[in-house]
Structure 1
């Protein structure tokens, strides 16, 4: 059993500062009305036609990040209809839908498509639309103010929404950035942190929609740099236990040059080799102190922690903690608090 794999397999937590709405708190007969009312206050007004006789279910997690709202949710199979009479609600912003699982049919203007998992669609809430969603789909819907996208070529030239096939590279970084938010321990009820995080998300969305030259330069300086740093740190967090992980291999995985990788880390006072060493030693400490690994050999723990040389592992462990792994396992010594690996410092907040 590997603690790192256990963490990776767990469902992303709900970020602090998230508003959670779940229809399970209501009587079955009241759930659809409660869901419709909640959506009209947090997203936009819709009619819902449920395609099942079972009690309606809906859950929506809303995280406010500056000018944006990130909604993650799922509900019973339904037809979402935003009709002409709904447009007077004043919600003429855009909804960037990021499909995580399942599929849905979208009709808006002269567009009629089936959207599959890992696709992105920018829907104009200022126009009539119809969405037919199945019951096993989960997605993010990012509410983006219309004014925020004025300096993007595709939105300015738009005559028949929605926008499909948003720039893949910008959206890949957007997905990584969203994942890092949902795996963060930060408190996004802090308005300054929420605003800065929303600014980075907005920059990535803008980059996916062919921004004007001025908007592109601003977005590259803020959003893309932040997202690429997140991409680097997330990949380190996920792969540090691989003995072959080095800066060149990591740079290739996240599609940047090795020199740019080091530059982004250095801007935050981080060093690749030190980050990886702290993570590996931290995993070794957690395994050595866990009764479930009492019968696992020191060599096996070293290899599972990312060290392919046991002697080197022992030297690094002694240099960091002033004792050998065997000493720690026997409980003969306590690790000084100032020498414990600082695990939370690996992923700095944006």
Structure 2
């Protein structure tokens, strides 16, 4: 899965602002279909989008000084007929008009759109969206009444909405990854499950999605919390559970499914941080006991044992060996 970037900054430097905007519109129409744009009058034109193809889905992060995006009925004929799951990532409200409805979405709110219909989207400070492009057929199989939800408020209190947004942002910020063992297909299925839950799928579909998409998203969130908090000596599964509203046992169960349990994962991260600090001359004046505590260990003797078992030398010996090599 490769990331494709479309940016006005890649156009020739010698273009003036007006010409840059017109050239960008031409390329946009060639790539994504024709549309009408209104730019912010008081700012230089800028537009950047990142696109990630995940099996049948498309994931896009876009930001621009475009104030209004509009597609007429004639222009919509060229569209793919897909649905758009979009989050307003800007600092001001976005107004969406589609299918005779008009709805205002505050920052971080989610909305559903359709590329097969006329659409009018406006934001007084420019666009900043994260959007998931979903083919119509699989979405309607999961949520048959999805068309009735276009340009209507979506309940942001649903856990699936929060997980869907965070997972979309995670995929866009993660390093490029291959498609070993059908990873793209599994991500596709998980995202579709979260979309179905976010849109209020019927009970049968929701039960299936709960066991796949939401579980996988929770696991990803727990792993992220571990990476953020492992160096705190009081960090534990109970701490993560309180933050996410889950039991410590369930937190441990989900992490175990990744192939490395909670305790083992935390210990490995602490040891890797300790090794990096010991190898860095910047920390030479830091006592081993202080370094151990900084990395999350309460007892220096336990830290010494774990470090020797993992790297074949005591922390002091390891630090000395890296200086000898220099």
Instruction: Indicate which of 63, 83, 103 corresponds to 1:74.
Output: 63
Distance, in Å, in 1 between the alignment partners of 2:146 and 2:130 is 25
Residue 154 of structure 2 is aligned to residue 165 of structure 1: yes
Distance, in Å, in 2 between the alignment partners of 1:119 and 1:101 is 10
Partner of residue 65, structure 1? 54
Residue 151 of structure 2 is aligned to residue 127 of structure 1: no
Partner of residue 300, structure 1? 290
- Post-superposition Cα deviations, 1:82-133, rounded to whole Å, max 9, x if no partner, equal 2222121133221111122322432314544442322111122222222123
Say if 1:323 and 1:333, in contact at 8 Å, map to a contact too. no
Deviates more, 1:73-82 or 1:175-184: 175-184
Please state how far the C-alpha of 1:189 moved relative to its aligned partner: 6.4
TM-aligned CA distance change 1:136 to 1:239, over 3 Å: farther
Please state how far the C-alpha of 1:53 moved relative to its aligned partner: 5.2
Instruction: Indicate which of 17, 25, 42 corresponds to 2:10.
Output: 25
Residue 206 of structure 2 is aligned to residue 216 of structure 1: yes
Please state how far the C-alpha of 1:75 moved relative to its aligned partner: 0.8
Deviates more, 1:63-72 or 1:181-190: 181-190
Partner of residue 167, structure 2? 177
Residue 222 of structure 2 is aligned to residue 232 of structure 1: yes
Distance, in Å, in 2 between the alignment partners of 1:132 and 1:180 is 26
Distance, in Å, in 1 between the alignment partners of 2:162 and 2:295 is 28
- The alignment of Structure 1 onto Structure 2 pairs a total of residues equal to 318
Please state how far the C-alpha of 1:38 moved relative to its aligned partner: 4.2
Distance, in Å, in 1 between the alignment partners of 2:166 and 2:49 is 21
The root-mean-square deviation of aligned C-alpha atoms, in Å, is 2.6
TM-aligned CA distance change 1:333 to 1:25, over 3 Å: closer
Say if 1:96 and 1:144, in contact at 8 Å, map to a contact too. yes
Distance, in Å, in 2 between the alignment partners of 1:262 and 1:81 is 48
Distance, in Å, in 1 between the alignment partners of 2:239 and 2:141 is 36
Please state how far the C-alpha of 1:236 moved relative to its aligned partner: 0.8
Structure 2 regions of 5+ residues with no counterpart? none
Partner of residue 245, structure 2? 255
Say if 2:9 and 2:46, in contact at 8 Å, map to a contact too. yes
TM-aligned CA distance change 1:38 to 1:172, over 3 Å: farther
Q: SS in structure 2 opposite 1:210?
A: coil
Structure 1 regions of 5+ residues with no counterpart? 1-15, 335-350
Give the TM-score of the pair, scaled to structure 1. 0.81
Say if 1:67 and 1:144, in contact at 8 Å, map to a contact too. yes
Q: SS in structure 2 opposite 1:192?
A: helix
TM-aligned CA distance change 1:206 to 1:42, over 3 Å: farther
Say if 1:104 and 1:116, in contact at 8 Å, map to a contact too. yes
Distance, in Å, in 2 between the alignment partners of 1:151 and 1:286 is 50
